């Protein structure tokens, strides 16, 4: 069938969607969500929507993805035919039936995913099948390789390329802003690609963007690495393992995370990492609740790294409270800069950063890695390297902590009794930070005056919430009135809270790459 093109001006988020009038769809004997081929000089497969109001009979409504792919103009003619279902759908059905998938089958699924040939429902079915049947290491290896093979890769002509990753779950984890310059200052190449916040108050890319631009092409990234050995960039702009970003959207909507391992390792393989340290925060409020769970995850990460040719170490870290004294993009960037400049001593932030960097150094054959990392930090070499990176990425290399804009609207939270801080609820603190406007409002967030173990007097300040817009503090007040974020009491207090009716349990779900 030949149809005229109608440009709809709709961006469908990367997928090739088209719109047919109902009568044309009947003539083609096709229903919504089925596929057609659209052909001019080139041919693509597109997913069909049916609309009698948006598209007249005899026309094919095209999204921007289809228009750009085929270089279409209004009223130009295209040939449309029913397309066979992708082979990958049978492989997805096999996985739903509990079958183990081989590399060629997984590659077919991932390629169709990247090409936009799978609908949201089909992607959700595959992700759900992985969640219910639990992917084994063979499938995780195949997924990692397929995700790398269907995207761009970073070709760094060096024998050693270092990287680090955290599985996330702990707010305020600004350690990357310290670790990357510490490692790069010793002459090692560390191309750090990071995520923006998905469920957290700030992703590493959000924090770094306060100090410098973070969106670059692969070629520009290589130029920056030649200048400074290190970089901190938003991975979404570079198109490394693009399938991961599509999978993450589905995982987020379903509140499941079966692709954690291939998601981490595909990105590391795509940047050419030869040595990797993975941080696994553990404890109340973190993804891993116990050290036993963390150790089992570490075993799988190390084995998957071995299969992919990446020497990998894991460190299990304390994850029951925020890292440092701040959460929120600008507040965290400011605190990291103050530590790099030796203006502030933030013990837990410094200790975690030096443990990660120290583990990297020892993985690379250096002795006393923690001591070396601490020495680099205290000497000012890490600050100098960070300023070099900021300049290379187009930021102001002379930036000072006081130059960073913080939200001016404040809400102070004080203790209702004396004692000591017994626990901090990461999930609630994240909810407060996001309600205040973070990460979109970079100046929004929380500054902590007290953390676990600190003594507290009744009426003493626990933390201060910053917002760029005053009305956002109203939502924060509602959260504070209904949920507990910090527990204060005596060491001997055994009661956390009393339940008098069936509670609505809000489980922590973190998916930040």
Q: What residues act catalytically? A: 257
Of 384, 387, 410, 406, the closest CA to residue 398 belongs to: 387
Burial 306-335 (b: 16+ CB within 10 A, else e): eebebbbbbbbbebbbbbbbbbbbbbbbbb
- What residues have CB less than 8 Å from 58, skipping those under 6 apart? 3, 4, 21, 24
Determine the Cα–Cα distance for residues 185 and 228; give it in Å rounded to an integer: 9
CA dihedral 184, 189, 195, 196 (to 10 degrees): 40
Q: How far is CA 474 from CA 77, 321, 408, 480, 488, in A?
A: 55, 25, 15, 10, 24
- What residues have CB less than 8 Å from 333, skipping those under 6 apart? 174, 177, 207, 208, 210, 211, 404
Of 269, 295, 183, 281, the closest CA to residue 232 belongs to: 183
Q: How many residues are listed for the chain in this entry?
A: 513
At 387, list the tokens.
């300023």
Do the strands 230-234 and 326-327 form a parallel or antiparallel pair, or are they unpaired?
Answer: unpaired
């Amino acid at each position: 069938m030949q149809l005229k093109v109608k440009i709809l001006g709709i961006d469908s988020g990367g997928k090739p969607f088209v719109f047919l009038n109902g009568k044309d769809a009947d003539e083609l004997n096709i229903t919504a969500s089925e596929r057609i081929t659209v052909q001019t000089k080139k041919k693509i497969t597109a997913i069909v929507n049916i609309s009698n109001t948006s598209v007249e009979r005899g026309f094919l409504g095209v999204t921007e993805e289809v228009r750009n792919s085929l270089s279409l103009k209004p009223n130009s003619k295209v040939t449309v035919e029913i397309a066979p279902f992708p082979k990958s759908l049978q492989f997805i059905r096999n996985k739903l039936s509990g079958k183990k998938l081989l590399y060629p089958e997984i590659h077919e699924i991932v390629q169709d995913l990247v090409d936009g040939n799978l609908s949201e429902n089909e992607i959700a079915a595959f992700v759900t099948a992985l969640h219910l049947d639990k992917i084994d290491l063979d499938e995780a290896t195949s997924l990692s390789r397929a995700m790398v093979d269907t995207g761009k890769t970073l070709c760094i002509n060096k024998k050693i390329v270092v990287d680090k990753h955290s599985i996330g779950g702990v707010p305020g984890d600004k350690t990357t802003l310290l670790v990357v310059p510490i490692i790069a200052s010793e002459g090692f190449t560390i191309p750090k690609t990071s995520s923006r916040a998905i469920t957290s108050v700030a992703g590493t890319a959000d924090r770094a963007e306060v100090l410098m631009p973070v969106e670059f092409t692969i070629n520009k990234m290589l130029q920056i690495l030649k200048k400074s050995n290190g970089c901190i960039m938003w991975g979404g702009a570079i198109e490394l393992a693009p399938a991961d970003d599509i999978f993450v959207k589905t995982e987020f909507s379903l509140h499941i995370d079966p692709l954690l391992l291939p998601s981490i390792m595909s990105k590391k393989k795509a940047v050419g990492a030869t040595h990797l340290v993975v941080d696994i925060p553990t404890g109340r409020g973190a993804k891993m609740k116990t050290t036993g769970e963390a150790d089992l995850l570490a075993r799988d990460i190390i084995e998957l790294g071995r299969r992919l040719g990446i020497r990998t170490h894991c460190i299990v870290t304390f994850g029951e409270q925020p890292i440092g004294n701040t959460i929120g993009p600008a507040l965290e960037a400011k605190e990291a800069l103050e530590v790099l400049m030796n203006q502030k001593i933030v013990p837990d932030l410094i200790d975690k950063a030096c443990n990660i960097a120290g583990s990297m150094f020892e993985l690379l054959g250096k002795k006393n890695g923690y001591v070396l990392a601490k020495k680099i930090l205290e000497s000012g070499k890490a600050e100098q390297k960070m300023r070099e990176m900021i300049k290379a990425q187009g930021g102001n290399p002379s930036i000072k902590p006081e130059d960073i804009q913080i939200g001016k609207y404040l809400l102070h939270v004080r203790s209702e009794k004396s004692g000591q801080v017994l626990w901090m609820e990461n999930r609630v603190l994240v909810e407060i930070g996001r309600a205040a406007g973070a990460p979109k409002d970079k100046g929004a967030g929380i500054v902590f005056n007290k953390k676990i173990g600190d003594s507290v007097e009744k009426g003493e300040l626990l933390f201060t919430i910053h917002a760029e817009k005053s009305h956002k503090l109203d939502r924060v007040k509602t959260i504070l009135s209904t949920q507990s974020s910090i527990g204060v009491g005596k060491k001997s207090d055994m009661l956390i809270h009393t339940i008098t009716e069936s509670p609505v349990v809000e489980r922590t779900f973190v998916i930040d790459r």
